[in-house]
Amino acid sequence: MTAIARRYEFVYLFDVTNGNPNGDPDAGNLPRLDPETNHGLVTDVALKRKIRNFVTLDKEGEAGYAIYMQEKAVLNLQHEKAWKALDISPDAKDGYKKLPKDEAKAREITAWMCGNFFDVRTFGAVMTTGVNAGQVRGPVQLGFASSVEPVLPLEVSITRMAVTTEKEAEAQSGDNRTMGRKHILPYGLYRAHGFVSAKLAERTGFSDVDLDLLWRALINMFEHDRSAARGEMAARKLIVFEHASAMGDAPAHVLFDTVAVERINAQDDGPARSFADYRVSVNVEALPKGVTAHQML
């Protein structure tokens, strides 16, 4: 498939109600926070994971849409698939540790990884571990998502009536309750920025079909990511800026500045509790020449 011919940026808004959008393992799984502002954070890694999970469900078994970075995946075995599929023998001395000295064969191995793994040709990958399959800089990148306003995590006590073992049940003398805690945000609206480079897409083969799949994943990925920990999460807005050229026609920050997220009632200093408390607007008149805004959601 032909790589995309134009550059894109996007603004992505999503929210959480009574859930933990991204726990911090360094803080007892509390929702991630910017300690200086108390704005909530969701890492780019967490968002990419959800995109990968959506593609796994949507394209299950379809050639070209395998996922490289998945739970319990042995990466060296993933790399070895390329060598074997192309019938390229490892070096007698270095084995699989180095790419073939023949540059054409080395490029074939990396291209095979891009062609078969959606997340490699989308996000890139460093595939230079024990079995070397090259290094790819992905055309799609995401920044951290940050909440539009400060958030206040709540710690909620929960009980469990069941026990794990018979010994534990006997020790509790009929009272099987054990206490636990979970951390939630009553509500938070998050904003993330994303970037799609057409020039880098030329190197990985990221196509218009892949781009459409990316937009669908962003719109629908929370629908297949429900859990007790994450409560209700929903994609709210996806605003895409399309350039007229591969190199682009304006700096990304200029485009992001045209998107405003404001409280509908500016006098209300209480906490927001739903997306209906906000107004999202795009100042299309301020867009530079050669850039078009599309509201995908």
Full-model pTM:
0.91
Number of separate domains in the chain: 1
| More reliable by pLDDT, 181 or 197 | 197
Rounded to whole angstroms, the Cα distance separating 223 from 87 reads: 41
Residue 176 located in a structural domain: no
d(CA 230, CA 249): 38
Q: Is residue 17 part of a domain?
A: yes
Complete DSSP assignment for the chain: -PBP-S-EEEEEEEEEEEE-SSEEGGGTTEEPB-TTT-EEEE-HHHHHHHHHHHHHHHTTT-TT-B-SS-TT--HHHHHHHHHHHTTPPPBTTTBTSS--SSHHHHHHHHHHHHHHBHHHHHHEEEE-SSS--EEEE-SEEEPPEEEEEE---EEEEEEE---SSHHHHHHTTT---EEEEEEEEEEEEEEEEEEE-HHHHHHHT-BHHHHHHHHHHHHHGGGG---TTT-EEEEEEEEEEEESSSS-SS-HHHHHTTEEEEESSTT--SPP-SGGGEEEEE-GGGPPTTEEEEE--
Lowest mean pLDDT among 9-18, 73-82, 186-195: 73-82
The total of other beta-carbon atoms located within 10 Å of residue 80's CB is 16
- The answer to whether residue 156 is domain-embedded is no
* pLDDT at 173 > cutoff 60: no
pLDDT score for 46? 96
Residue 157 belongs to a domain: no
Q: Do the domain assignments include residue 230?
A: yes
Is residue 180 pLDDT above 90, yes or no? no
**Residue 111 and residue 3 in contact, taking contact as beta carbons nearer than 8 Å:** no
Tens-place pLDDT, residues 34-66: 999 999 999 999 999 999 999 999 999 899 999
Contact criterion met (CB below 8 Å) for 199 and 45:
no
pLDDT for 116 beyond 90: yes
Greater model confidence, 94 or 242? 242
Assigned domain for 201 exists: yes
pLDDT bucket at 175, cuts 50 / 70 / 90: low
pLDDT reading at 92 higher than 80: no
More confident: 227 or 197: 197
pLDDT tens track for 120-144: 999 999 999 889 999 999 999 999 9
pLDDT at 160 over 90: no
Q: Is residue 244 in a domain?
A: yes
Q: What percentage of the chain has pLDDT greater than the value 70?
A: 97
Give tens-digit pLDDT for 214-242.
999 999 999 999 888 887 999 999 999 99
Confidence of residue 171 (pLDDT cuts 50, 70, 90): low
- Give which of 189, 208, 255 is closest to 4, Cα–Cα: 208
| Domain that residue 86 falls in | 8-151+183-295
Give the pLDDT of residue 262.
95
What pLDDT is stored for residue 95 in this prediction?
A: 84
State the pLDDT at residue 203: 95
Q: Quick: pLDDT tens for 244-281.
A: 999 999 999 999 999 999 999 877 788 999 999 999 99
166, part of any domain? no
